[in-house]
Chain A
Amino acid sequence: MAPVIDIKNVTKEFKVLNRREGLAGSIKDLFSRDYKTVRAVDNITMSIEQGEIVGYLGPNGAGKSTTIKMMTGVLEPTSGEILVNGKLPYKNRSKNAQNIGVVFGQRSQLWWALPLVESFRLLKDIYQISDEDYDGMMKLYQSLVDIEPLLHKPVRQMSLGQRTLSDILAAFLHNPKIVFLDEPTIGLDVSMKAKIRTLIHALNKEKNTTVILTTHDMGDVDALCRRIVIIDKGKMLYDNDISHLKGFFGSYRTLKIRVGGDLKKEAEVIGKEFPALKVEADDEWISILVDEDKITVMEVLTKLQKMRRVRDMQLEEISTEDVIKKIYEEGVE
């Protein structure tokens, strides 16, 4: 089967005016032709199959939103090729729009002053959804979340969580092939996050919708994505199964200990003792990242106990977050 999204060697550059500081600088800027080129996305290649949920991760400013905007057709790649459903999205934006749904973080496409159902009715008409499909979708929504009270509530009276939920439902309403979710769980409480994850998961299962999800929340990734793509400074760092990534870093464990005295100073001393390990201290714990291929946690602990009296200890599996942090810092190799 042909991939639903096919990205080949895509690069996106922006021209940005070099701004000067101060009032005099601002005045000079009015006449400035001094542009610099910023490469937001640098030679990215990936292809995504129908029905996948892909977690698209990276620090702020990594180029995630730029990539998504290129896939939706709002941005045109500087070079390379993107095909969505076999077409160039920026050349067929309106047609492409029929096949995609989007939720952009804090921005809402819903009618602010009106009850949610009015926004849905409008979407039904502009996406030309048949009565049957619309009713079917509403039934599905009803079975997944308690949508009835939301439908009759004006959007401006909703909590952030309810609004995000509604926006996600609105994006899926016309049963698009692909839904782009740009940081959908940002700013939400734990129970709402869980609700939204369950919803996305169910909709993906039920309708075989491809979901591209950008997020900073590893909980989202762990709950939803089998595959993750990591990008930083426009470059692709990783594109594979999440389990593969964990296996890759599986031999790492974090040993946390508590000793008497100033933890920062103690951490330095310990750092000197184990130059190969990464030692950090916060207010409560000294964390030591141990690569068990080289030295076992037990060995480290035995050594430590000879140096200091260890009052308390914890052993943590490396989390996806740590893995990604490590990739950001060091790369995959």
Chain B
Amino acid sequence: MNLKKYLSLTRNGIMESLQFRLSMFIVFVGNLLYLIVVYFLWKAIYASSGEEVVNGMTFSDTLIYLVLATALFNFMEMYTVWQMGRAIQSGAIVLTLLKPMEIRRYMFWEYSGNFVVNFFATLLPTFIVVSVVTHGAIPLGLNLLYFVISVVMAVIINYNIDFFVGTICLYTESIWGINIMKQVIVLLLSGATIPIAFFPETIRTIVYWLPFQSIYNSPLTLLLGKSSDIKDVGIVLGTQLVWVAVTYAISKLFWKISLPQITVNGG
């Protein structure tokens, strides 16, 4: 494998992403607003419950979790479905198909520069702010290493799901509805908008058997060190690894089956 061509894509991605300074600022403001809403919403929830601890989480536990989940969302969201949908509709996908590189790889690495930018622009600052403000809600130890490994796998799972959903656009030729549906499902079932601890028992069990919780819940659980036991860590990372393999295989297979939509039907 020639790594240079991938890093070259990353490099261009970083430069392109840095061109849009204003958009980074607007994303920042938008997140701030979202977090203010989250703050008051959960404050109200805790106030109405009349208890300090709900479902094993205090108010600050929940808030820290959701702040980090939001930062993680901004870091990981790749808008692959949009990209693919638009490329399919406009026919520009032909140019990507004609690169001497597999399209899944090309699109991933084409975006990868944004990971670098978003890491320094949102993830790391949020992390530091949360760390400082809460005086140690985030333990600084081995859990950081687990977190990094977990995020890498989460990114891959997320991309595989996105690519799968993007492939559906080959059949529907529309993007909007599919993308919204995907986003709602992923954000809800991954624990990005509501901590999974708040789900009713049965739904929680179902969610644990789905790949989505491996995207947000797993890395955050490892980061916040709720289970420092090496066996628990192993289970979380192991589950993610299984989902990496399964989602990769499924999305790759689905693309292979669906490609004739272009090559036979002309897209």
Interface, chain A (partner B; CB < 8 A): 14-15, 40, 66, 69, 72-76, 78, 90, 93-95, 97-98, 100, 102, 104, 107, 109, 111-114, 118-119, 121-122, 124-128
Contact = CB atoms under 8 A, between A and B. Distances in A.
B76 to A, nearest CB: 22
A113 B19 contact: yes
Contacts of B262: 74-75
Contact of A126 (B20, B100, B265): B100
Contacts of A118: 12, 15
Given A74-B97, A93-B97, A125 B265 contact: no
A126 B8 contact: yes
Given A97-B98, A102-B95, A111-B16, A76 B264 contact: yes
Contacts of A74: 94, 97-98, 262-263
B124 interface: no
Interface string B76-109: 0000000000000011101101111110000000
Task: Classify chain B's interface size.
Answer: 20 to 34
Contacts of B101: 94, 126
When A and B form their complex, which 9 residue pairs have the shortest distance between CB atoms, in order from nearest?
A125-B8, A113-B19, A97-B100, A126-B5, A125-B5, A76-B263, A98-B100, A113-B16, A109-B95
28 contacts: A14-B266, A15-B265, A40-B266, A72-B98, A75-B263, A75-B266, A78-B264, A93-B97, A94-B99, A100-B98, A102-B98, A104-B95, A107-B90, A107-B91, A107-B92, A107-B95, A109-B95, A111-B12, A111-B16, A118-B15, A119-B12, A121-B12, A122-B11, A125-B4, A125-B5, A126-B8, A128-B2, A128-B5
B9 A122 contact: yes
Interface in B6-46: 7-9, 11-12, 15-16, 19-20
B260 interface: yes
Contacts of A93: 97-98
B89 to A, nearest CB: 13
Nearest to B90: A107
A236 to B, nearest CB: 20
Nearest to A93: B97
Contacts of B100: 94-95, 97-98, 126-127
A122 B12 contact: yes
Contacts of A76: 260, 263-264
